Amino acid sequence: MLNMININKRFRTELVQTQALADFSLEVKEGEFVTVTGPSGCGKTTFLNIAGLLETFDSGQYLLDGQDVSHMNDYQRAKLRNQKIGFIFQSFNLMPDLNLFDNVDVPLRYRGMGAAERRERIERALESVGLLARKKHLPSQLSGGQQQRVAIARALVGEPRFLLADEPTGNLDSNTAAGVMELLQEINQQGTTIIMVTHDVGLASRSARNVHILDGRIQSDVINSDVINSESTAA
Amino acid sequence: MTSSLELGPITRALMRNKLGVVLIALQIAFTMTVIVNAIDIIHDRTLKITSPTGMEEDDIFSIRSFGFDSSINAQVLIDEDLDMIRQLPGVVDASRVNAVPASGSGSSSGYAIEPGRRELTVPAAQYSVDEHALNTMGLTLVAGRDFTPEDVRRRTATETRSADQIIVSLALAEEMFPGEGLQAVGRTIYSAEDKPLRIIGIVERLQSPWPNATDWIVERSLMIPDVVIDNSSIYLVRTVPGQRDALMADVEERLAGAGYDRILMNNKSVAQMRTELYRMDTAMARVLYTVIGTLIFITALGIIGLAVFSINKRRKQIGTRRALGATRGGILRYLLVENLLISAAGVLFGAVLTIGFNIFLVRTFDIPRLDWYYAPLGMLVLLLLGQMAALGPAVNASRVAPAQAISPSH
């Protein structure tokens, strides 16, 4: 599904050079729910950016769904993002001037999909997060948790192969965060691969696999057998 | 196609940010109103400035001679002067006239097709000329004949018996005999004193001395072979092409050296007269061009300012769109469509304002009505201006990295 092999990424300024990722290798299989943790500045965001094709890397190889994306140009990467990746952001990143329907519509527009199919998909996605009745509302008329649900609907509406979530519960209170987490787990159980960057150790412990990054390298890659067992039982 | 242009979402988003949109649309509308009407005025002035007098203007000059020696025989002086001028190499012909087209100075009177019918009077410029005038001016005779020496009536200012044959401009003939202008030769019109004047010739064009005046007199002129002999003469001289300037100096020098006490003045080419006559119109056109340029500059700055402000405010949104799959072209298109919708609102309102303002100008200042194509052309130009102004900021915005979606700094 996602296979990074010896990825290196450096950031240079006039004064300093920072090795954000160093010989970073990670394989994520289809259907996995992986949390990525680590202290600030460890390289989590760089990993997320490269995984989501938001940023290029200096060396190494990255296979996404079997496709080598290492040498793709900006246009090809944009198309691939649109087709295969759903994003969930810490601060939701909804367009404040668009209602919920139009917000969820954004990735579909870039896919060139017909109006009827878009409408059907948007309504289904909003229904799945329990906000269809509020499709004409603006994001500012919703609570934080509801806004994140809309963002999840937007991430899911294109039926991506995997979701990248950047601190999806970072701006939410604990109750709302738990609700969002349950929703993500449901989505994962329906087959969508999820990679979630988080500071929250408690949330990380609820995922089947946790990758801990330190100084641009994977310090630990732990399979949480308890979660796997409970998921198997639930299934 | 509609989905990729995102007309619906963009329109709805704009409607939620009315103030900025309305302000910039108003600026575009007012700019269009002023520009289109200013261009109309410039166009009108330019038509007047460039309208031909009917003469061979490039090769003609005039000089005025004012004798102050009471012992001078004016008739002898005029004949000697004209003979001398006509014999100069490079001179095509010379004539004594009372006024020169486009000079700004001359006389006019009212004429009617029936005696005693003052309500039918048509005003026209009157040129008192000799038999050389038509050739000297280089006018085109389209019907009838030129004056002969026998037609010319030379008299003193106190004699009242004047010539009774005239050559008219086609525009005057058409005005007096609508639809039959070219057939007016042989017909009679009447002066303000009810004196009958028979038309013996028609010239294609002969402007009045005041072509910058209101339309009613510009093209209506007549020539009468009625030469009043006195000490003040305007000599009109036509040269072969390219020799005008040299002959202007030569003629003045020879007239000065002819041994008579007189003042020579206003030695000017028709081109100089035209420049002086239209100085105000030319200045007005320049002022209006400056206003147009300034307005375009300010409006472009306004559009650029709004675009830059709105893009800087939305860098994270743009990054998010890129993350969700927008290509650079998609972002560029989105922003240009957004700008196009604002500009379109501006030019639509501008079209209404433009026409309304023109009606006001027509009623208040006798400005000509706008041609039908001015408003749509103005709309197109303003739309293009808007797109050009927004292009730079939009291209910059399209370069916003998709990673801006995650960047905490925006």
DSSP letters spanning B137-199? HTPPEEEE----TTT-EEE-TT------EEEEEHHHHHHHSTT-GGG-TT-EEE-TT--EEEE
Nearest-CA distance B312 → chain A (Å): 15
Tell me, yes or no, if B323 comes closer than 8 A to chain A by beta carbon.
yes
CB contact under 8 A, B330 and A98: no
pLDDT for position B410: 38
In our burial notation (b when 16+ CB lie closer than 10 A, e otherwise), range B230-251 reads ebebbbbbbbeeebbeebbebb
Q: Are residues B98 and B237 in the same domain?
A: yes
Interchain contact B322–A (C-beta under 8 A): yes
Residue B132 sits in the same domain as residue B165: yes
Question: Which pLDDT score is estimated for B408?
Answer: 58
Instruction: Among B6, B17, B406, select the one facing A166 at the smallest CB separation.
Output: B406
Q: Could you list the residue range(s) of the whole structural domain that residue B27 is in?
A: 2-50+279-405
Q: Are residues B235 and B290 in the same domain?
A: no
Q: Give yes or no: residues B109 and B216 share one domain.
A: yes
ipTM topping 0.90: yes
Structural domain boundaries enclosing A17: 2-234
Residues above pLDDT 90, as percent of chain A = 63
Q: Any CB–CB contact under 8 A between A113 and chain B? A: yes
pLDDT at A216: 92
* Chain B touched by A110 (CB under 8 Å): yes
Classify residue B55: in a domain, yes or no.
no
Check CB contact under 8 Å for B330 and A138.
no
Assess if residue B293 is contained within a domain.
Answer: yes
Residue B56 counted as domain residue: no
Minimum-distance CB partner of B402 among A54, A75, A115: A54
pLDDT score, position B128: 94
CB pairs under 8 A between A and B: 92
Same domain flag for B197 and B109: yes
Enumerate residues 12 to 71 of chain B having a beta carbon within 8 A of any beta carbon in chain A. Answer: 12-13, 16-17
In this structure, the answer to whether residues B46 and B151 fall within a common structural domain is no
Sign of CA dihedral B334, B340, B345, B346: positive
Q: Answer positive or negative: Cα dihedral of B392, B393, B395, B401.
A: positive
Q: Give me B314's structure tokens.
A: 């939305």
Report residues of chain B scoring pLDDT below 50: 1-3, 409-410
Strand order in the sheet with A67-68: A17-28, A2-12, A59-64, A67-68
The domain that contains A75 carries what CATH number?
Answer: 3.40.50.300
User: Could you tell me which chain A residue has the CA closest to the CA of B16?
Assistant: A97
Number of domains in chain A: 1
The continuous run of DSSP H or E covering B337 comes out as helix B328-365
- Same structural domain, B225 and B100: yes
**Closest to B163 measured CA to CA, from B178, B148, B177:** B148
Question: B96 and B38 in one domain?
Answer: no
Q: Report the candidate in B243, B266, B236 with the shortest Cα–Cα distance to residue B135.
A: B236
Residue B269 inside a domain? The answer is: no
Taking an 8 Å cut-off on Cβ atoms, the answer to whether A110 and B327 are in contact is yes
Contacts of B328 in chain A (CB under 8 A): 74-75, 78
Per-residue pLDDT, A120: 95
C-alpha B138: how far from chain center: 23
Beta bridge partners of B224: B128
Note whether B401 contacts A55, CB cutoff 8 Å.
yes
Cβ atoms B204, B138 nearer than 8 A = no
Whether B62 is in a domain gets the answer no
B194 in the same domain as B101: yes
Among candidate residues B227, B260, B293, the one where a domain is terminated: B260
Shared-domain flag, residues B295 and B354: yes
Query: Does the CB of A222 have a partner CB in chain B at under 8 Å?
Result: no
User: Which residue of A52, A95, A105 is in closest CB contact with B323?
Assistant: A52
Nearest chain B residue to A55, by CA:
B403
- In a domain, residue B59? The reply is no
Choose the final residue of a domain: B213, B231, B260. B260
Does B410 touch chain A if contact means CB atoms closer than 8 Å? no
Are B144 and B199 in contact, with CB atoms under 8 Å apart? yes
Q: Do B12 and A102 touch (CB under 8 A)?
A: yes
The residue ranges of chain A whose pLDDT is under 50 are 235
Q: Are residue B243 and residue B327 in the same domain, yes or no?
A: no
Instruction: Compute CA distances B130 → B106, B133, B229, B264, whole Å.
Output: 16, 6, 11, 21
Instruction: Report if residue B236 sits inside a domain.
Output: yes
Residue A99 touches partner B, C-beta closer than 8 Å: yes
What was the pLDDT predicted at B3? 42
**Could you say which of B6, B13, B326 has the minimum Cβ distance to residue A78?**
B326
- Considering CB atoms only, which of B4, B16, B316 is closest to A93? B316
Tokens of A5: 């092999």
Sign of CA dihedral B277, B281, B284, B286: negative
C-alpha distance from A127 to closest chain B C-alpha (Å):
21
Nearest CA in chain A to B400: A54
The partner residue sitting opposite A74, judged by closest CB among B9, B324, B328, is B328
Domain shared by B287 and B368, yes or no: yes
Number of domains in chain B: 2
Whether A148 and A92 have beta carbons less than 8 Å apart is answered as: yes
Interface contact flag, A115 B320, Cβ < 8 Å: no
Cβ–Cβ contact B262 with A under 8 A? no
- Report if residue B274 sits inside a domain: no
Check residue A233 and give its pLDDT: 55
